[in-house]
Structure 1
């Protein structure tokens, strides 16, 4: 029993011996030596470019807020608004669909008029020149066996109406290879 009491006293002593300084001094001295020998290499910053201020010379420029300039802008706006589509015109059924959802699948002639056959979702629609379709005020200008030509009216970044020509080309059938 005396032996077990002696062993119990020896265990804490051994645990405390493990907490000693052992090789920490060697590691610290090595770290200090490496730190003193290492020289950091930093690239110098590039020289900053010299800023040369620009002197604005108004010269003979027209004041953008002068009455003459404002009247000129009003005339230009009236000329551009001539392209504006008729907003009061009743909408046709195919104007509810964007052009990228339409596929030309065929063409037919009836009574001397050419009709394009357009697939939208799972339905087929007949379209002839003069009809409207698409969400950008599209007007069918021509129907050929290969394509339907459409003139759309869209607004550009400045809000002016411009014409854009689009085309729906005949799509080959996956079933018959035509």
Structure 2
């Protein structure tokens, strides 16, 4: 028991003894370096370049079309888009997989249970979720329309850029390992 205490004490004291032997209390070399740096002539810093003010421009339409609208876009197409009545159901409670972009999700398997086909979808965090036709996934209000052995087919509702919405078909293929 005494020898273990002695070994521990020696293990602590020996490195401390070695480090204290290396210390130079006068720090003469550090003081001479600081004095040498302080005695150097100060360098010249060039002034910042002058920033020229940008000339402002005010757009006055005078009955001309807006430069931010495409030439083919008119009131007629905007009225048609609003009239088609297609829009996401904003009152519906969002499902968990709708918080992920579609390209970050992977189909990793297929499961059939009591006549219902389920797809196994993996998130970026490696969490696996079970979904069936009618469930939603992806950030563009994508609703699953069909699940087969290789892809999960879904219909997304995306903005058309003219104040309305349009449907787009998308799929999520079975990921190969």
Report the TM-score, using the length of structure 2 for normalisation: 0.54
1:85 alignment counterpart: 88
How many Å apart are 1:78 and its aligned residue?
4.1
Question: What is the CA–CA distance in structure 2 between the aligned matches of 1:171 and 1:73, rounded to whole Å?
Answer: 40
2:99 corresponds in structure 1 to: 96
Task: Give deviations 1:121-159, integer Å, cap 9, x for gaps.
Answer: 211111100001111011000000111001000011212
Specify the alignment match of 1:157 in structure 2: 161
Pair 1:104–1:73, CA change in 2 (3 A) = closer
- 1:145 paired to 2:142: no
Structure 1: state its 5+ residue gaps: 1-68, 174-178
Select the residue among 115, 131, 139 that pairs with 1:112.
115
Equivalent pairs, count? 103
Q: How does 1:38-77 map to 2 (within 5 A)?
A: 76-77=80-81
Q: Could you list the runs of 4 or more consecutive aligned residues of structure 1 that deviate by over 4 angstroms after TM superposition?
A: 72-75
Q: What displacement does 1:76 show?
A: 2.6
Give the deviation of 1:98 after TM superposition: 0.6
Counterpart Cα distance in 1 of 2:97 and 2:79: 35
Aligned 8 A contact 2:118 2:130 in 1: yes
Q: Structure 2 stretches of 5 or more lacking a match?
A: 1-73
1:132 matched to 2:136: yes
Map of 1:169 onto structure 2: 173
CA distance in 1, matches of 2:78, 2:102: 34
Which has the larger Rg?
Answer: 1
CA deviation string 1:74-125 (max 9, x = no partner): 8634422x21111111111111111011011110100100001111021111
